[in-house]
Structure formats: C-alpha cells, structure tokens
Amino acid sequence: MSEPNSPLSNKNLLAGDFDGDAVVACLSAHPDREIGAALHDKNCIQGVDNILICEALYVNKTSPWAKVDEVEVTEILNTLRGIAIANRGLELISTTGTRRAGHEFYVHARAHANCRRCRGKIAAAMQGTKPNDRIMYFCPTCQPGEHPQPLERAARRPASQTSR
C-alpha cells in the first residue's frame, strides 16, 4: 500500500486500481472535519461530486456534518464507488436504480420533498465556507445528528432536467 499522499496511490474513485486504504488514511488524518466537506477534498479523493456525496451519505444514514472520526469511512467509500461504477458513462445518473423523471435520487435536489425512506421532509443546508461552500441535501430523520438550520428555499430539480 502506498502512503496517503503519495503520487503512487490512486485516489480516483473510478480507477481499476483505486486505493481505498490511501483515501481512508487521508480523510482520517483530519478526524474533526465534517465528512461531507472532507469528501470534497480532491487531495484525498477524486472522481466524486456533490450528487454522489449527498446520496452516499443518505444511503449510509450519515449526516454530512458528522465528524470523520464518528463515521464508517470505508463503508461510505464503498457506497460512493458502487454508485459511481453503476453510473459510469451515463448522461443521466440514478442512485435509486430508477431512471424515471423525479425518481432518480434519494435526496439530491429534492429539498422539501418526502423522504423515500421515512416520508419526512428532505432538507438542504450550506456546508463549508465561501467561496467553496456547497448545498447539501439530507433527511434530518434518516441522517440524525447536528446540522445547520435548513434553508427555507432550496433548489429542486425541475422535471425538464430529469427527463431528457
């Protein structure tokens, strides 16, 4: 295994020689960082975007604001990698397994819609500091823990973008 920040370790999620151990080590080097923010760190992991992160954290019932040392990083990486591989090369991705318009995602761009698991309301809140902050979508019930005040108005994916 290569060192966490070694140029020899492959941190690209879609790479055949993906080095999950190096990614876990890199993320774990900052245990007090929020997992949602940590997964955006291109020095630790590559090939992920906000959609994948929101969805993988939901699947793993993990709040984006949970600290790295409070979560199962390996399980989250396995979920991220599985979603990324399942959607490789697709123009319109789906994390739910359904490509029907409006049913592609569990939480991403679904603020104020009903959670597919508990029927509560999906929330959205900003994570990070400007100019690198991002909107994180989550279910406060299924992804328990501390989180910032949800946004009153948050983007929802228009049907025209989900059914090309």
CATH number of residue 153's parent domain:
1.10.8.50
Burial 87-105 (b: 16+ CB within 10 A, else e): beeeeebbbeeeeeeeebb
| Contact predicate 127/65, CB 8 Å | yes
Question: Could you tell me if residue 84 is inside a domain?
Answer: yes
Indicate whether 3 belongs to any domain. no
**Structure confidence at residue 114 (pLDDT):** 96
The answer for residues whose C-beta is within 8 angstroms of residue 61's C-beta and 6 or more apart is 142, 143, 144
Question: Is 46 a member of any domain?
Answer: yes
- Which residues are within 8 A (CB) of 90 and not within 5 positions of it... i.e. 6 or more apart? none
3-state secondary structure 26-49: HHHCCCCCEHHHHCCCCCCCECCC
How much is the pLDDT for 91? 85
pTM of structure: 0.88
Q: What tens-digit pLDDT sequence spans the chain (164 residues)?
A: 444 455 557 999 999 999 999 999 999 999 999 999 999 999 999 999 999 999 999 999 999 999 999 999 999 999 999 999 999 988 889 999 888 888 999 999 999 999 999 999 999 999 988 888 899 999 999 999 989 999 988 766 544 344 33
Number of folded domains in the chain?
1
User: Residue 161: its pLDDT value, please?
Assistant: 45
In a domain, 12, yes or no: no
User: What is the extent of the structural domain holding 137?
Assistant: 20-162
3-state class of 126 per DSSP? strand
Q: What pLDDT is recorded for position 43?
A: 95
Beta bridge partners of 87: none
In a domain, 148, yes or no: yes
